[in-house]
Structures are given as structure tokens and as C-alpha cells.
Amino acid sequence: MLGTEVVVAERPRLLLSQDNHLPGMLGKPLEHQPERTARPHLFMARHARMRQCSGVTPEPRPLDDPSLEFGAVEVFNLEGEQDWDAENSREGFRHRATRVGDRLGARALGAGLYELPPGEKTWPYHYTYGMEEWLLVVSGTPTLRSPEGERELARGDLVVFREGPEGAHQVINRSAELARVLILSSESALTVVHYPDGGKVGYWAGSDGQRGLLPRERELDYWEGEA
């Protein structure tokens, strides 16, 4: 998988891109539907080049449609030296990250590249509603925690996390070497994130940036506090 690249061609604007779990730089954090298998779908894509095109219009349009104006194609190399956008210093969750989606001018997908030192995690164990996430292992052998337990991933492995509890996940580097992963997410006007370990729930509104993080220790009556 040498020279791994993500290539995106600019197309008419659909949704604003936001990259997963980069604190202070996005409208929601990184990171499923009932009656489906609880096992995240793991696909082996080793020794292959990954190309992701975004911004496809909802309905086909004629090629001579003047609104279909293509800009320059941007290229981002996932394996090269990085000018990192952020660094998390919290013990146990130390990592460096780059907003790949912003670098490429993406509009319908969010994407973040993460580099984890040995013993560190990306983010707390969580699952979402309103957003589907994908994980691609760029280098190293990170461990994936899911509802089924833990399993070691290898370079080129691709995983999908659907909405809901079946898609709960966390990435941990239990190896002695650096690990690098790309996390992609669909865009949504509203995302709800559940953190089972911490008993928290958060929400992120893409339209106006409103957000909140609340405890789940007690349930409120619908009419509580209303006059």
C-alpha cells in the first residue's frame, strides 16, 4: 500500500465538511441500526490504493449542465510526513491529527488522519446516530475495540461502523510502534454520540454549531420544569 493517496474532485457544494473528533475544529466528534449483526464489517484492502470521490449530486444531470463545474483535483498522501493540525496531550488519548477533508476541500464527507503512539487511544469508546464512520489502517497494527471484544488490525484493513450500539468502537495502539489510521464519516445536520463507558451523550448541530455533552445518570419527565 505504498504511496497511499486519497483523491477528491471538487463538485457542486452539498454539505459542509467536518472532520471527526478534532476538538475545537469541528461541529461534532469522530466517530447504527437495530436488528442487524453487532459485528462491524471488516474488509481487507491490503496492498491497494484507496481513492474516495465526494460531492456527487443527488440526481444525475446532463454533462453539459453549467452547474457541473469541476475544479482542480487535490491529492493528499496518507503515508508521508505530515504538517499536523492538532495534538491531543491527554494521557491515554495522546495522538496527532490532520483534517484531511478540509485539506482536500471535501463537502459530503469528513476525514481525519490520526497517529497514535504506543499505548494510546484515539477517543473514548462511543457510537453515533446520524453519522456512519469508516476506519482505514494506514500503518501499524492498532487494536479495534467493538461490542464483540478486541481484535488486532493490520495495514490496509477497512472497517465500517454503522449507526447505533452495534457500531460502538474505539481504536487503541497496543503495539510497540506508531500506528496511523484514517477515519471517515458521513455528514449530517445533527449527530448524537453516546459514550457507554462514561455514561454521557453529546449532540452536535451542523447548521449553527450548537453542541452539548450531558450525563445519562437520570431520566427527565417530558414536562419537568415547564410552566
pLDDT over threshold 90, residue 55: no
According to DSSP, the residues that pair with 205 across neighbouring strands are: 190
The tally of domains found in the chain comes to 1
According to DSSP, the residues that pair with 149 across neighbouring strands are: 146
pLDDT over threshold 90, residue 63: no
pLDDT at 107: 85
Q: Which residue has the higher pLDDT, 207 or 114?
A: 114
Q: What is the pLDDT of residues 80-116, one digit of tens each?
A: 999 999 999 999 999 999 999 989 988 889 999 999 9
Residue 175 belongs to some domain of the structure:
yes
pLDDT over threshold 90, residue 24: no
Give residue 98's domain range.
5-61+68-188
Cell numbers standing for residue 156 = 490496509
Q: What is the pLDDT of residues 120-139, one digit of tens each?
A: 999 999 999 999 999 999 99
pLDDT at 22: 38
What own/partner pairs with CB < 8 Å and gap ≥ 24 does 79-84 have?
79/1, 79/2, 79/3, 79/4, 79/138, 79/139, 79/180, 82/113, 82/115, 84/115
Q: What is the pLDDT of residues 160-189, one digit of tens each?
A: 999 999 999 999 999 999 999 999 999 888
Average pLDDT, the chain: 76
Residue 139 belongs to some domain of the structure:
yes
CATH code for position 33: 2.60.120.10
**Residue whose cell numbers read 453487532:** 38
Residue 225 belongs to some domain of the structure:
no
Q: Could you tell me which of 39, 33, 38, 36 has the C-alpha nearest to residue 164? A: 33
pTM above 0.75, yes or no: no
